[in-house]
Structures are given as C-alpha cells and as structure tokens.
Chains A and B, each alone.
Chain A
Amino acid sequence: MTVVLLLVTIGALLLLRVPVAFAFLGPALAYLVLTGASLGLAMRLVTNSTASFPLLAVPLFVLLGVMANRAGIADRLFDFALALFGRVRGGLGYVTVGVSLGFSWMSGSAVADAAALSKVEIPAMIRNGYERTFGLGVVGSSALIAPVMPPSIPAVIYAGLAAVSTGALFAASVAPALLMALGLCVVVFFWVRRQPEIVHTGFSWSKLAETSKRVAAPLLAPVIILGGILGGLFTPTEAAAVGAFYMLVLGFAYRTLKLRDLPGVFAEAVMTTAAIMLIVSSASILGYVLSRERVPQELSELVLGFTENATVFLLLVALLMLVLGTVVDATAVLVLVVPILMPIAMRLEVDPIVLGVLMILSLMIGLLTPPVGTVLYVLSSVMDVPVGEVFKGSLPFLVPLVLVCLLIIFVPEFVTWLPNQLGL
C-alpha cells in the first residue's frame, strides 16, 4: 500500500510539472522520514550514487558533444556527405542520415544532434525541391541514431544502473545503430521514387577530395574513442576525456574554438550534466525504497505468473518503453524501471546487454512522438513549424526504427555478436 501511494505521488508530481529529479527525491525522502530512517542516509545514498567512476563519462561525453558542436564538425560532415551523395537522386536525404550517423560517433544526444543539424539540412532540402515535412521527418528520425550509437549517454547511465560493462553495451549498440541508419535510407529511397521534381545537387571529384580532407581529422575521433575502449587502451570514462581533449585540439586547430570560449563550453556542459545527474542521483534512494518494499520481487512474481517466455517479456518491455518514452525523459524511465526489470530479466535469463539496447532504442523512439517528444519540440522551435507537421513527417521513418526493435527481440544474437567477438 505504501509503495502504491509513493508511485501514485511520483506520477502526480510529474504531471504537475515538478522536475523529474525532485518528483523522485521528494517522496523518497518523505518515505525515509516517515519510516524512521536517518536523514543522513538519504543524503549518503544520493551522493554515493553520484560519486561513481563510470558515471564520470556523462559530463565528459556531454563536453565532447558540446565541443564537437562548437568546433563546427557538423558543417564539415555535411559538406563531405553532400559531395559524396551529390550524384545520387534524393542525395540530401541520404546526406542527412549519413551526417547524423557520422555525428553520432561524437555526440550522444539526439536533441543536440537535431538542433545542430536541422538549421543546415532542412533549408538545403527545401532549396532543392524537397518537401519541408520530409526534411523534418528525416532530420528528426536520423537524430535518434546519436543516443543509440556509442558514445551514448543513456548507455552510460543504463550500464551504471544495471552494473554491466559500458564497453560491452557500446559494442552491442553498433549493429542496431547501423541498421537504424540503413532502415532510414530505405525510407528515403522509396520516398524519392515518388518525387520526380527534386533536383540533384551535383558531384565533382575535386569537391569530394577537398571535403574529405576537411573531415579526415574529425572522423578520427570515433576511432580514438571506440578503438580505445574496445582495444582495451582506455576505460569508457577515460576515452570520453581523451575524445573531448581531441575535439578541443581540433577546435583550436580549426580556429572555431578559442580560449575565451572555454568558460561558455564548460558552463553549457555543466548545466546539461547537472540536470541529468540529479535524476541519476535519485536512482539509489528510489531503488532503496523500492527494494525495502520488495517491489522488484513482487513485480517479478507477477510478471513471471503471466509469462515465463523471454521473448514475450522483451516485447512487453519494448511496449512499455515506447509508451513511457512518449511522456517521460529517458533518464527518468531508466532510473525508475531498470532496478525493477533487472531481477525479472535475470530470472528469464535475458542478457542485460540486449535488454539495455532494446530499452534505449524503444525509449528514443518516444523522442519523436507526442505528447512530449523532445526532438519534435526542438525541430518545431528551431524551424518555426507546428509540432504536428514534424510528427507527420516523422511517421514513415518510425517504421524501420520499430522493425529494428523487433529484430533485437527476435534475433538478440545480432546485438551480442560484436561484444562476444571482442570478449567483452
């Protein structure tokens, strides 16, 4: 009864616009006070969960993304992709997917990706005869690759919550992210066939050579980050710092970043990090309350009474994440749900890596669906168009993303293959 009251209170507070972190922290603190626990325990739980070495990757990957944005890497990638796909009909659609894929190796945030790329890509598409709705859809859906492809901030958070290897989760995410990109390209292909009026953007070898030179150094960043992690040179946290340092050097070399910009860069990274980490910090206190009330065990019995089939369980998880992802921030959902789902997954012998990749991808789809799809709102705000138009444009692109989710559920081996090969 107590826990039902607690969860109802959290839900009500969330609906009443209380920030997620405080909607978790407030009722959990009240629970501890009412059950006679020491106040100090609440603070100890909160700080201990924050002072975690793997979670240090969060501010560092945020910093990497901010620096990549400020260093103008997205523009360089766009020019290169445009030169590469210039001859292809509907090339700008593929360019958008390609740039998002390239940028996703440096940024773990769909929202930052959508905000940074939409201002360049959508006007370029409109100029070349593409429908604005299509542009909004392809930019929004491509942005979802960023939080799935490593370095992914939700993956770092999931790894911390589920106590799994961040490196293994990163490796496992590569194939689904590439498949997402491929699926989006298939939608672009079919859309382009029905649009005879769109024009080619042209192709020249000299332009391709020139733009290749400009992206050579930025494209080394993923090699350093992922190569470092998967090759055992760095931990994910260290790789994040090395990647951010490399991006800083590139920014200085390209003169897009100056010493006087650094306070602003750090200030931006700090605000993003603090908002995420406050939610993560509430995980331990909420987890403590839930386990004290035996919620994971009781929910586990309930679910296992309904099904003992791992595939059905994964289908239910994907459905739950799709629904929750439409209304609640991904970090909040992970914090709330991972401690509850992990014992069930263990009992059903579901690989926690597969569960993590599935949860992250399903949650990210929610970023592109009403009522609270953050990417929808960002695109609507940046391009000054109605949210409904962004959603309409995104609808066809949601199909391949859902198909990738189903593939993870029915063929989980394609997720675990790479980490197994790498011995992670």
Chain B
Amino acid sequence: MTTHESTQPQLGHLRTAVRVVTKVEVLIAGLAAAMIFVLVLLQAGQRYLPFDGWTWTGELARYGLVWLTFTAAGVLVTRDGHIALELVDELRPELLVRAVHVFALVVVAATGAGFALACWSLMQESGNLTTPSLGLPMQYVYALPLLGFVSTAVRASAAAVQVAMHGVPDKDDSSEDRDDSSEASLQASGSREEGTAS
C-alpha cells in the first residue's frame, strides 16, 4: 500500500468532519437569518397591535445579524465565497498563482486567529455585562463570533496546506460541501457573485 492510499481513509474522515461542521455552521447562520426575518416582521406588526411592543425583538434581531455574519465567515473560506480581487488567477505560471493563493489564505488564517483572540479578550472584559432588554450575558453574544473566527483560522490554514500541496482547486471543486439547494443557484451565476452587494 502506498502512502497516498494509506491517507485516503483519513482524508475521507476529515472531509466528513468538515461537511458536518459546515452543515452546523450554515444551520446556525440560517437560523439566525430566519430569526431576524420573524423578529423584524413581529416588530413591524406590533406597531399596529393594541398592546405594548416587545423591545427585545429589535435587540435580538441585531445580535442575530452578528451571529449570522461571523458564523458563516469560516464556511465562506472553504467555498472561496469571500469577496476578493481575482486578478492574479489569470496569471502564469501556475506556481505563482498557487503561491499567491497560499499567501492570501495565510493572511486570512492569521487575521482569523487574531480576531479569535480579540473575541476571547472581549469575553473576558465583558464580565457580568448583559444586554439591555433581554439581559443576555454579553459573553454569550460573543461566543458565536469566537467560533466563527476559530473556524476561519482553521479552515484557512487547512486550505493553505491543501493549495500548497495540490494546487488551486477549480471553482466547482471548492464547493464540495455546499448543500444541494444552494448549489444549483450558485452554479447558475458563478461563485463570484456569492457575496456581492452589487
């Protein structure tokens, strides 16, 4: 058995693990989006109802946006979904493109690690602070961004190693762990559009 063959089952387990973690992260971010949708609808509706509004709906929706944003940050690294200038992708030789990709991923990993540390530091500084309406401990609020930045750092590091060893994957290959439903629509318009405000 060659070394390559012996690493296959391990890689298989790793891929499964990544897929499960991705599904969990997308699920949390999706739930946050659904929560924002419902809470803002409630807030719009309660203005026309004959009882006092719930002040916590706006607060929870705002924190929902924080959770959505940072939880999905890691998944976007794996899917190459972050908005970036892709000018270098057209360059030759391939080794140069590979080196640039690895460099970019290392920067992302370092920034992710730095912000994970910053998040941890903020959780320590928050102490017994709670949110104004819900009384939710601020440490809980920062927990999901912490996980998101840790995921970003780990995924970017793994991707850097993978790109360094095997080269830059095709756009379609980087989406191996996409859920089926979103895949169809993304394929239709190319992954470049995954995250653009325009």
Residues on A lying within 8 angstroms of B by beta carbon are 13-23, 25-26, 29-30, 33, 38-40, 42-44, 46-47, 50-53, 55-56, 58-60, 63, 66, 69-70, 108-112, 114-116, 119, 147, 153-154, 157, 234-235, 237-242, 244-245, 261, 263-279, 281, 327-332, 363-364, 367, 371-372, 374, 377-378, 381-382
Distance in angstroms between the alpha carbons of A415 and B101 in the assembled complex: 43
Q: Are A279 and B83 in contact (CB under 8 A)?
A: yes
- With known contacts A60-B40, A274-B76, A14–B69 Cβ distance under 8 A: no
Q: Are A329 and B197 in contact (CB under 8 A)?
A: yes
A-B CB contact pairs (8 Å), 11 listed: A21-B82, A40-B121, A116-B189, A147-B198, A154-B198, A238-B41, A263-B181, A268-B182, A274-B70, A277-B69, A372-B87
Chain B contacts with A in 167-198, Cβ cutoff 8 A: 179-182, 185-186, 188-190, 192-198
Q: Are A40 and B122 in contact (CB under 8 A)?
A: yes
Pick the residue among B33, B63, B100, B145 that contacts A273 (CB under 8 A).
B33
Interface of B is mostly: helix
Q: Are A277 and B44 in contact (CB under 8 A)?
A: no
Q: Are B197 and A153 in contact (CB under 8 A)?
A: yes
Pick the residue among A15, A51, A111 that contacts B196 (CB under 8 A).
A111
Distance in angstroms between the alpha carbons of A327 and B83 in the assembled complex: 12
Which chain B residue lies CB-closest to A153? B197
Q: Are A374 and B85 in contact (CB under 8 A)?
A: no
Pick the residue among B61, B68, B198 that contacts A274 (CB under 8 A).
B68
Q: Are B63 and A51 in contact (CB under 8 A)?
A: yes
Distance in angstroms between the alpha carbons of A56 and B142 in the assembled complex: 18
The 4 A-B residue pairs with the shortest CB-CB distance, nearest first, are A275-B195, A264-B181, A115-B189, A19-B82
B34 interfacial by beta-carbon distance below 8 Å: yes
Q: Are A43 and B118 in contact (CB under 8 A)?
A: yes
Q: Are A331 and B188 in contact (CB under 8 A)?
A: no
Q: Are B115 and A29 in contact (CB under 8 A)?
A: yes
Which chain A residue lies CB-closest to B37? A241
> Please, which residues of chain A bring their CB within 8 A of the CB of B101?
17
Q: Are B72 and A40 in contact (CB under 8 A)?
A: no
Q: Nearest Cβ distance between residue B111 and chain A, in whole angstroms?
A: 4
Q: Are B58 and A263 in contact (CB under 8 A)?
A: no
Q: Are B68 and A59 in contact (CB under 8 A)?
A: yes
Q: Are A109 and B85 in contact (CB under 8 A)?
A: no
Q: Are A364 and B44 in contact (CB under 8 A)?
A: no
Chain B contacts with A in 122-175, Cβ cutoff 8 A: 122, 124-125, 141-142, 145
Chain B, interface size: which category?
35 or more
> Please, which residues of chain A bring their CB within 8 A of the CB of B141?
47
Q: Are B197 and A271 in contact (CB under 8 A)?
A: no
> Please, which residues of chain B bring their CB within 8 A of the CB of A44?
122
Residues on B lying within 8 angstroms of A by beta carbon are 26, 29-30, 32-34, 36-37, 40-41, 43-44, 58, 61-63, 65-66, 68-73, 75-76, 79, 81-89, 100-101, 103-104, 107-108, 110-112, 114-115, 117-119, 121-122, 124-125, 141-142, 145, 179-182, 185-186, 188-190, 192-198
Residue of B32, B44, B61 ringed by the most chain A CB atoms within 10 A:
B44
Distance in angstroms between the alpha carbons of A238 and B40 in the assembled complex: 6
- With known contacts A59-B65, A264-B179, A275–B194 Cβ distance under 8 A: yes
Q: Nearest Cβ distance between residue A242 and chain B, in whole angstroms?
A: 6
Q: Are A329 and B121 in contact (CB under 8 A)?
A: no
> Please, which residues of chain B bring their CB within 8 A of the CB of A70?
185
- With known contacts A17-B100, A271-B194, A263–B188 Cβ distance under 8 A: no
Q: Nearest Cβ distance between residue B74 and chain A, in whole angstroms?
A: 10
Distance in angstroms between the alpha carbons of A296 and B73 in the assembled complex: 30
Q: Are B68 and A374 in contact (CB under 8 A)?
A: no
Q: Are A39 and B40 in contact (CB under 8 A)?
A: no
> Please, which residues of chain A bring their CB within 8 A of the CB of B33?
59, 63, 266, 269-270, 273
Which chain A residue lies CB-closest to B77? A19
Q: Are A271 and B75 in contact (CB under 8 A)?
A: yes
- With known contacts A374-B192, A378-B189, A157–B197 Cβ distance under 8 A: yes
Q: Are B198 and A367 in contact (CB under 8 A)?
A: yes
Q: Nearest Cβ distance between residue B30 and chain A, in whole angstroms?
A: 4
> Please, which residues of chain B bring their CB within 8 A of the CB of A58?
65, 197
- With known contacts A271-B72, A329-B196, A18–B188 Cβ distance under 8 A: no
Residue of B43, B58, B88 ringed by the most chain A CB atoms within 10 A:
B43
> Please, which residues of chain B bring their CB within 8 A of the CB of A268?
181-182, 185-186
Q: Are B88 and A270 in contact (CB under 8 A)?
A: no
Distance in angstroms between the alpha carbons of A16 and B73 in the assembled complex: 20
Q: Are B179 and A263 in contact (CB under 8 A)?
A: yes
Which chain A residue lies CB-closest to B185? A268
Which chain A residue lies CB-closest to B184? A264
Q: Nearest Cβ distance between residue B112 and chain A, in whole angstroms?
A: 8
> Please, which residues of chain B bring their CB within 8 A of the CB of A55?
65
> Please, which residues of chain B bring their CB within 8 A of the CB of A153?
197-198
Pick the residue among A23, A59, A381 that contacts B36 (CB under 8 A).
A59
Distance in angstroms between the alpha carbons of A422 and B179 in the assembled complex: 45
> Please, which residues of chain B bring their CB within 8 A of the CB of A112?
189, 193
Distance in angstroms between the alpha carbons of A310 and B68 in the assembled complex: 40
Distance in angstroms between the alpha carbons of A116 and B66 in the assembled complex: 29
Q: Are B88 and A17 in contact (CB under 8 A)?
A: yes
Residue of A108, A116, A271, A371 ringed by the most chain B CB atoms within 10 A:
A271
Known: A22-B112, A50-B65, A270-B30. 16 other contacts (CB 8 A): A17-B87, A30-B114, A38-B125, A43-B122, A47-B142, A63-B37, A111-B193, A235-B44, A241-B40, A266-B34, A267-B181, A271-B72, A271-B79, A273-B72, A274-B75, A276-B197
